[in-house]
Amino acid sequence: MSAVTLSNIVKRFGTFTAVHRTTLEIPEGAFVTLLGPSGCGKTTNLRMIAGLLDPTEGEILIGGKRVNDVPIHKRNLGLVFQNYALFPHKTVAENVAFGLKYRNVPKSEIAAKVRDALDLVQLPHVGDRYPKALSGGQQQRIALARAIVIEPDVLLLDEPLSALDANLREDMRVELKRIQERIGVTTVFVTHDQSEALAMSDLIVVMSEGRVEQVGKPEEVYNTPATEFVANFLGASNIFDARCVEHGATVVVEDVVFGRVTVPATKAPNLMGTGPAKLVVRAEKLKLARDAAPEGVISVPATVETVDYQGQAVRYFVRAGEAQLQAINMIDDHPFAVGAAVHLHLRPQDCAALPG
């Protein structure tokens, strides 16, 4: 059963169309991420689900019921925003209890529900403090506790981790996913951060310019991008003009860097026949080596132009003929130096192909 359904949703602001006919099924209990750059329409979709914006066209269903005309306070949704929106003059316990009071929950039950919510976010002893006394990560957890204490049908999260520093963001995304799995609430999460989307999601909805580019599991959208935008936005990719010369159980494409590459048909679902194509090679699938590759692996000579050392990994920019490519490799010792002559190793099954 779908917890949330968006059917042909359009949102216009004057003459500007922010969302172009979004149709989306969000499964019950799933963690679904709306992913894309700023201005792509992901937050607009979230705000329409919440009831903060009205769609210009289309229908929104929550639990199978049309909610276009249902106000936000009657949709039973939990909301967490980027700035957390905690009341500074209320204690943590009062912040968490706020939604319960407006739902006429008996006073005798409120304290227990607040205590359970604070236990869930692992902050059981801060109920009498004020938000200003808490760290950013603690405030984020309190905002989450306030959202889930009402036992919402759907939890809506709008860039809730973006105000945190890098290390804390990584810790909190693990914690957030743990909590979501424990309570089983359907969650719609908005972010522009690809690593967050890949790490946390059951389904990723990739958006661009108000349109849905692809919907799928993290491994599907990463390994089998449906469009050039998805291939470029989700991870680091090398994309080459190519030509499909054979189309069947496998797809054979030709490009000027790697020559003939036999790609599994499952990695080229949108390529319908022979003709212009694109070859997609993820940066981490290109391996730098001192020697030519073994049989079954494509090998291309190249020269290292730039070295971007990242600790456990290094990103290389290399020149192969007239093409510049990027490769991300794990390293055990020292990275290749600028100017080094190397061989690029590529397994055909690691490539994807798109229509040209």
CA nearest 4: which of 303, 159, 205? 205
Give the model's pLDDT for residue 167: 81
Give the model's pLDDT for residue 137: 87
**Beta carbons within 10 angstroms of residue 277's beta carbon:** 26
Provide block-wise average pLDDT over 10 residues at a time, the chain (356 residues).
95 96 96 96 96 97 95 92 88 93 87 93 93 90 93 94 82 90 95 94 97 96 94 92 93 94 92 93 94 88 95 94 94 88 95 93
Domains for the chain: give ranges and CATH numbers.
2-223 (3.40.50.300), 236-355 (2.40.50.140)
Give the model's pLDDT for residue 43: 96
* Structure tokens given for 29: 């209990």
**Beta carbons within 10 angstroms of residue 115's beta carbon:** 15
CA nearest 63: which of 176, 160, 186, 172? 186
Q: Where are the alpha helices (DSSP H) in the chain?
A: 42-50, 92-101, 107-120, 136-148, 166-183, 194-200, 218-223, 228-233
Give the model's pLDDT for residue 249: 87
Give the model's pLDDT for residue 235: 86
E strands within the chain? 2-13, 16-27, 31-35, 57-62, 65-66, 77-80, 154-158, 186-191, 203-208, 211-216, 237-247, 250-255, 259-264, 275-282, 287-289, 298-309, 313-320, 323-330, 341-346, 351-355
Q: Are 88 and 94 in contact (CB under 8 A)?
A: no
Give the model's pLDDT for residue 102: 81
Give the model's pLDDT for residue 277: 96
- CA–CA distance from 208 to each of 15, 19, 36, 37, 326 (Å)? 18, 10, 6, 7, 24
Give the model's pLDDT for residue 169: 85
- CA–CA distance from 59 to each of 45, 67, 70 (Å)? 12, 8, 12
pTM above threshold 0.85 = yes
- CA–CA distance from 346 to each of 73, 169, 260, 286, 327 (Å)? 54, 33, 12, 5, 11
* Structure tokens given for 332: 């055990």
User: In a 3-state reduction of DSSP, which class is residue 18?
Assistant: strand
Spatial CB neighbours of 187, under 8 Å, sequence gap ≥ 6: 30, 31, 32, 154, 155, 156, 157, 180
* Structure tokens given for 223: 């390994």
* Structure tokens given for 229: 């935008």
Q: What are phi and psi of 94, to 5 degrees?
A: -65, -35
CA nearest 20: which of 54, 44, 52, 47? 44
- CA–CA distance from 121 to each of 7, 96, 171, 297, 343 (Å)? 34, 12, 13, 48, 50
Whole-angstrom distance between the N-terminal and C-terminal Cα of the chain?
Answer: 37
Q: Please report, rounded to a whole number, the percentage of residues in the chain having pLDDT higher than 70.
A: 100
DSSP 261: E
* Structure tokens given for 227: 């469009």
User: In a 3-state reduction of DSSP, which class is residue 3?
Assistant: strand
Model pLDDT for residues 312-325, shown as the tens digit of each residue: 899 999 999 999 99
